[in-house]
Structure 1
Amino acid sequence: MDTSESGTQSDPLTSDDTTAAPPRSGGRRWAMDTRPLRIPAYRRLWTSTIVTSVGSQLTAVAVPKQIFDITGSSAWVGAASLAGLLPLIVFALWGGAVADSMDRRRLLLITNTGIGVTSLLFWVQAATGMKSVAALMVLLAMQQAFWGLNAPARTASIARLVPEAQLPAANALGSTVMQTGQVVGPLLAGALIPVIGLPELYLIDALALCVTVWAVYRLPALPPLGGAAARRAGVREIAEGFRYISMHKVLLLSFLADIIAMVFGMPRALFPQLAAQTYGSYGEGLALGTLFAAIPVGAVLGGLFSGTFSRARRHGWMVIGAVVGWGAAIAGFGLSRNLWVAVAFLAAAGVADMVSMVFRGAILLSAATDEMRGRMQGVFTVVVAGGPRLADVLHGTAGSVFGPRAAVAGGGLLVVAVMVALAAAVPALRRYRV
């Protein structure tokens, strides 16, 4: 497709030869599609993500660690997580509307700076020995609010930086970096805390955000298209986003697919119980660590070999297949008594999750108009953040009633059944293709 048809800006964003590429042969067909990195603007945005994806995980480890050190209570750690959820939901929905009504580059500069200042405040309170859970919760709420404003603009900008045909590849590149950060960041935090101390983790995150601010500063202006700059960003505009979703079945189905996979099939709340009771003979600590790491590791592997799927044109079928594959892998995990077989199933689920992320993201960016992309990404952020938290409650309750293995296996089979039924009943997702 010609870049002008997909809404992608021309010179200088795609001045390199990004649309025409010779067919790849041999092992290159399997490797990650890196064509979007030929575009300077996207390359800057992606490179900044490499640094901040690790830095953000340092803070994600430091906050619950500090709260537990102060209180000695896991209940307070859980309460802090919920304290950040409401600001994330509210500001992600509003941030999507804002991203559709102002220059997205400017919004990214403001919000990344806000996140950086919040990280500095985290460092100050830790370095001065404040030991206030209330202060930590307020800072966490501020951080999540800025992140909620930032995420829709950041993701919506990608469709203005790369041609539509390369959106799956761009999503695979970004998702792989984020998943790698989820593996490397916590490991790095665990290694650094005994060496440099907890406060310095916050400071490293703040310094990493300086790289992001500089990369965003180097981006071209990304003003609204079609004179949308005169529009407000309020409740009415947020409601317009939900009406837009209800009128476009493929968008609605892409959200439902993620909700089905995460709410019914994300069993992380049962990992501690499984590590202690089912896989305790392997060592509870080893079992718990490998269970939590397995899905991100699988997602990273899926990203590294994303050349196998990122050029697919039937995006709807790719989402359906990925969600069904996720459910089947989770069911296999629930039935496994051997730790390493269980880890293999979770890694396979991670690969399926990567495929789902890539093509759901591509559908949201290609099926929505530019003036609605911010709001679509705002809803997407809420779904991605809220689904696993609902799953924690559902799986925790089901695990107590039916046992952890039955709850996990049943949830995986439910994902398969509901996704197949939805795809059969509503053909819009099956028929969607670029």
Structure 2
Amino acid sequence: MASEVLWTAPVADRPVDALVRVPGSKSLTARWMLLAAAAAEPAVLRGALVSRDTRLMRDALERLGAVLAVEDGALHITPIPAPTEEPAEPVEIHTGLAGTVMRFVPMLAALHHGDVRFTGDDAALARPMDPVIDLLRQQGVEVTEHGEPGRLPLTVHGTGRLGGGRLQVDASASSQFISNLLLVAARAEEDVELVHVGAVLPSLPHIEMTVETLRQAGVDASHQLDAEGRHTWRVRRGEIRLGEVAVEPDLSNAGPFLAAAMVTGGTIAVDDWPETTTQPGDAYRDLLARMGGEVWREDGAVCVRGTGTLHGIDADMSAVGELAPTVAALCALADSPSRLTGIAHLRGHETDRLKALATELTKVGARTEELEDGVEIHPGELSGTVFESYEDHRMATAGAVIGLRVPDLRVVDIGTTQKTLPDFVGMWLSMLHPEPATDDA
């Protein structure tokens, strides 16, 4: 079984010094793919990520009738055809453990005339889906739940239409519950007004990313606070037109490499870092500077240099929760305690990331307390151990970061990194052991 495969994380014997190029953003690739499938005309994506999650998205869109093909290194997407008068044959979509597939595609499936059944990996069956189901039902779409209520597997009985109008959602558990409707809202029969009624709203940058992609696709989308101070989004019905899109590099996936500079006292430059972006990974620049690193821009790259000092940090990470595992790994190696808060929603990710971090960092030797909405980390004398990944790509890379300094740290199923970074191990080893320069012209 894959979960039994152990990868001994390599220890760095010298400061790293490398230029890193990370593939396209998973979050942006997923959004552009889905928008292209719902669009009025074909689109071309350049720099789109190819990973397990995006392959699952591609399969889902193809099962709904879109045509996707790679030509000259770019992904060409022909939209899903208009629904037929007669219901189509039933379709089954396997979401794997991809939140973007399990939360985004059911809303698109409502525009398909026929039954679309969604299932996924075992761990996916425990992830909350209640708000997706509720939004569908608010629009008159019938949904059948086949197992535990509010979880996969479920079937969307698509009629080829979405009603639109004023809708409410509690997205306290995930920003994806906002984005899932916004991405197809322009195809509804009425303009959409979506009001968030939950107690907290995590990962707001991801929703801002969705709104920005909609605007770039010619959709009239806006975000404001209503009279009661509630987040409200409005999307006018209309055609979606992407044309040709260049996908930004995945800044969250750059995190472990930047962390390597901090741990080893070396320098890492990540190429093609956008000047402005809605990606949460851009926050690494501030977070790593606060932890003692030197951070600067140079020739289109963001550079981080470790100074030999790695400080603990007290940070509200509610907007950038996906960065927490990498930052927590650095906290375990820091010279003072850390407190990461505002991330209760991480309990509903690939695994309960708060519990996973508390468990694994404690095993390594950092006393870690699990808080209601975060973790408190007290560095200690660290030693090698088996570091469980829980089928979570960001837990796996967190183990790799700690392993740069701690010998004999064995990560369970490093292959789970293929979810968003297909060749993580190859990139990691190349960073640590770059090929020597030659005098060839």
Question: TM-score, normalization: structure 1?
Answer: 0.22
The structure with the largest strand share of the pair is 2
Q: What TM-score does the superposition give when structure 2 sets the normalisation length?
A: 0.21
| Higher RCO structure, 1 or 2 (CA under 8 Å, sep 6+) | 1
